[in-house]
Amino acid sequence: MIRRIGRRLIIAFLVTLAVACGAASPGPSEVVLAQPTDTPVTTPAERAPTPTLVATENPAASPTRPPARSSTIAPRPASQQAASEPLLDCTPHSLPQRTQRSLAVDPNDDDKIYIGVEQEGFFKTHDGGKTWQRAVTGIKAWDRTDGTGLCYEEFYSTIIDPDDPDHICIAMAGGPGTVSVTNTSAGNNGVYCSVDGAESWTQRVSPHMNTAVYSISADPEDFDVMYAGVNGGSCSNLPPVCDPDTYFNSVGSVYQTKDGGLTWSELNTLAARDVRVISVRVHPLDPHLIVAATFSKVTVQGGNAGNFEGSTQLGLIRSQDGGKTWSSSVNGMNDSPREQALLGLEISPRNRSRLYVTASSNTSYWSSDSGETFHPSRRMTAFVFDPFDSAGLHMLGSNGESIQESTDGGETWGMISATPGFVSFQSGVPTALVWSGNDPDKVFLSGPYATLYVSPDGGVTWSQLLSAERLPK
């Protein structure tokens, strides 16, 4: 560890020197990097303009263009698509980037990597990224207007059973809804599970369940016990699809299953209007400790971004009895709703009390008491705790333009390298960091445009494993 950190300090000094020299002598090809405080944050609650629908050949039979993507008719496989039905213009919600928050690596085999790419589908490699396969059998999707294939919703979370790595579950989300609500895309989303290494998938949702699932986490002792965090906002579709203030959650935005997703129950997690659970985690050392990062922004029907006015921010919610009772805390967070609306969460796998969260504005927070109180930190868009650090304090993160390292649980950060492939904040930021379960020096980083990198030396150097150009057709 000391040798690795020493090497990073040398690299960091060289990177800093190079940046300083570039600033002193800017050339005609110089790229100016935006700072994190200048970055407009794109969140799951703030969508880009809604994709349009193509008119059919029979105008009289064509439905009026809906204001929100999820207002269209229920999807069918391409072979069953009626000629009079509209198709989806497959434009990413989170422009200008397609988010890759669903990155996961087999805990027993670093060559097996899984990632979902918004609108493109789910992908896997079993040879460390040399070749990739599209792994979408059983996952519901829309037909594209350009006739080039299917259009998938956003992939937000992937978990792998450590006792059976072929058992994988993923979370997909669009607008809030249930499988029984017609004329929406809600029937496509929710939780999907595979028992054959992503060769095929089965949708695992209950009829009453809100299928806008942002995050899933499993009990470390029983993978069939899972928790799903959802978008608890109101239906964004206009009448007649949804009446005003139609909600699909009544007591909270977290569901629990005890049978691998066959049935789900809504947990009482301090329900408040439009609360979304962006990330939920069961602590690896204590299956009774469940923490979840929440985000609240009042939904506006018609697919608009909504607003913070009238919202109730819960910050971090936590259960210490396996989901039976919950408490919330914004203690130590900035008073601004934007600084209490969270977008990311990680807990230390080796330290029960340490966790790190990122807010929707320009702040991150660290906690040393399992989320009772928080302290401001430099904002990271992607971050991960080192599973090999016995103290549970070593972290890697990215603030956009650089890879940062912390040895004190996120209290302080220092640069160790430039973020690979980074151009500017307007082109997106890194979205996920995943540490190898086998190699203490290997780390994976995903970002916009289907980009995936691996570092063999703890974030000092990087090589690319996937790009939009390399996605299988």
CATH number, domain containing residue 207: 2.130.10.10
Is 432 among the domain residues? Answer: yes
Res. 57 pLDDT band, cuts 50 70 90: very low
User: Which pLDDT score is estimated for 95?
Assistant: 54
Position 336 in a domain: yes
Q: Does residue 198 have a pLDDT over 70?
A: yes
Instruction: Say which residue, 94 or 73, is predicted with more confidence.
Output: 94
Examine the pLDDT at 369 and tell me if it is beyond 60. Answer: yes
Strands (DSSP E) contained in 118-212 are 121-125, 133-134, 142-143, 150-151, 154-160, 168-173, 190-194, 202-203
Contact (CB, 8 A) for 192 and 136:
no
What pLDDT does 245 receive? 85
Q: How many CA atoms does the CB half-sphere of 469 hold within 13 Å? A: 1
Least confidently predicted of 12-21, 105-114, 334-343: 12-21
Distance (Å, rounded) from C-alpha 415 to C-alpha 405? 6
Q: DSSP letter for 198, please.
A: T
pLDDT bucket at 94, cuts 50 / 70 / 90: low
Residue 458 lies in a domain: yes
Question: Model confidence over 63-77: pLDDT tens digits?
Answer: 222 223 332 333 334
pLDDT of residue 47 exceeding 90: no
Q: Maximum Cα–Cα distance for the chain, whole Å?
A: 72
Q: Quick one: what percent of the chain has pLDDT higher than 70?
A: 77
Question: 453 pLDDT band (50/70/90 cuts)?
Answer: very high
Residue 17 falls within a domain, yes or no? no
**Residue found under tokens 């401001």:** 376
Q: Work out the pLDDT band at 428, boundaries 50, 70, 90.
A: confident
* Window from 89-93, 276-280, 435-439, 452-456 with minimum mean pLDDT: 89-93
Which of 350, 216, 178, 383 is CA-nearest to residue 292?
Answer: 216
Tokens of 352: 């029960």
**Quick check: 61 pLDDT over 70?**
no
In a domain, 2, yes or no: no
- pLDDT digit string (tens) for 236-258? 788 888 887 899 999 999 999 99
Query: Which H or E run includes 24?
Result: helix 2-24
Which of the residue ranges 15-24, 117-126, 170-179 would you say has the lowest mean pLDDT? 15-24
Does residue 363 lie in a domain region? yes
Q: Is residue 9 assigned to a domain?
A: no
Tell me the average pLDDT across 96-120. 90
Give the model's pLDDT for residue 39: 35
Q: How far apart are CA 73 and CA 51, in angstroms?
A: 14
In terms of residue numbers, what domain contains 174? 27-470
Q: Are 192 and 179 in contact (CB under 8 A)?
A: no
359 to 126, 217, 267, 355, 364: CA distances (angstroms): 35, 20, 24, 13, 6
Domain count across the chain: 1
The helix (run of H) or strand (run of E) holding residue 255 is strand 254-257
pLDDT at 422: 66
Residue 1 maps to a domain:
no
* Predicted pLDDT at 327: 97
Q: How far apart are CA 430 and CA 399, in angstroms?
A: 8
CA neighbor of 392 nearest in space, from 459, 358, 444, 347: 347
- Give 380-427 pLDDT, tens digit per residue: 999 999 999 999 999 999 998 899 999 999 999 999 999 997 644 456
- State pTM to two decimals: 0.83
Q: What is the pLDDT of residues 206-236, one digit of tens each?
A: 999 999 999 999 999 999 999 999 999 888 7
**Does the structure show a pLDDT above 70 at 161?**
yes
> Rounded distance, CA 129 to CA 112, Å?
8
